[in-house]
Amino acid sequence: MNWRLWRAQILAILRLEVRKSFSGRRAIIVYLLAATPIILFGVHSFAVAQGWNRCRGTEDFAVYAGEFQLYYLRLGIFFGCVAIFMNLFRGEVLEKTLHHYLLAPVRREVLVAGKFLSGLVAAVALFCTGTLGSFLIVASHVARLRNQEFLADPLPGHLAAYLGVTALACLGYGAVFLMMGLVFRNPMIPAVAVLIWESITVFVPPLLKKISVIYYLESLCPVRVPFRGGGASALFAISGEPVSAWLAVPGLLLLAAALVALSALRIRRLEVNYGAE
């Protein structure tokens, strides 16, 4: 077991694939998904500065928590991981370039590890930047207009928690869609099935909630979204009791490790037939 050789090969694949993840037409969609919170809260902050809107103090952080859980976790990071991780192998098949890797003197398990890490680096870099930028925008205009309320909040801890949840979301969803890109010829159908399942977990029994990624991610969020009144958004208020961070973090790490291991087993039997695509 030549660990030194495998490490060097993984790093070489990582450097090559990271550049590909940040370029190309598919990357534009990921950039937009990651930048949406920065744009939205930037517009809000500009409106507050011009007097067109009012700063609600700490309530703005509750709005941020709602945007983070309802958009960023459930849609932005989800579809961003679909675009990044499903194309790690599926995109190579469609572009008829995967055989270059398969003919190279590198173990297929090493190839899976290198490609997964490249997708993880790209996803974490983009979406953590979106999380950091949007949070700092909200914090800056609250600090400027309502300094006492700003200082009373444990903002550094909240920011660290949001960044950690973002990274874990990229890890969990990335592992799911990496495996789907290897198993299914048309992975968009199972991706839609995963989206539906993650959306209806608010209705399922507590035991079934534990086999969804979003349940653990929401449990780690530092602020519980205060849904008021009726409407469709109130459905998310019954997503169940949060699980302890001591269980949520290891659970997501074990899930990702298991899915990457299954992907490594799957690629051993992978045969590329471009004519069938």
Q: How many domains does the chain have?
A: 1
Q: How does pLDDT run across 43-64, given as a tens digit for each residue?
A: 877 776 666 666 566 677 888 8
How confident is residue 8, by pLDDT bands cut at 50, 70 and 90? Answer: very high
Look up the pTM and report it.
Answer: 0.89
Non-local (6+) Cβ contacts of 30 within 8 A are 80, 83, 84, 122, 123, 126
Domain presence at residue 1 = no
Domain presence at residue 104 = yes
Q: How does pLDDT run across 152-201, given as a tens digit for each residue?
A: 557 788 899 999 999 999 999 999 999 998 888 787 888 899 999 888 87
Over 90: is that where the pLDDT of 129 sits? yes
Domain presence at residue 249 = yes
Nearest to 74 by CA among 218, 209, 249, 245: 218
Non-local (6+) Cβ contacts of 102 within 8 A are 108, 111, 270, 272
Domain containing 23 equals 16-227+236-271
Radius of gyration of the chain (CA): 20
Q: CA distances (Å), 235 to each of 201, 239, 244, in order? A: 10, 8, 22
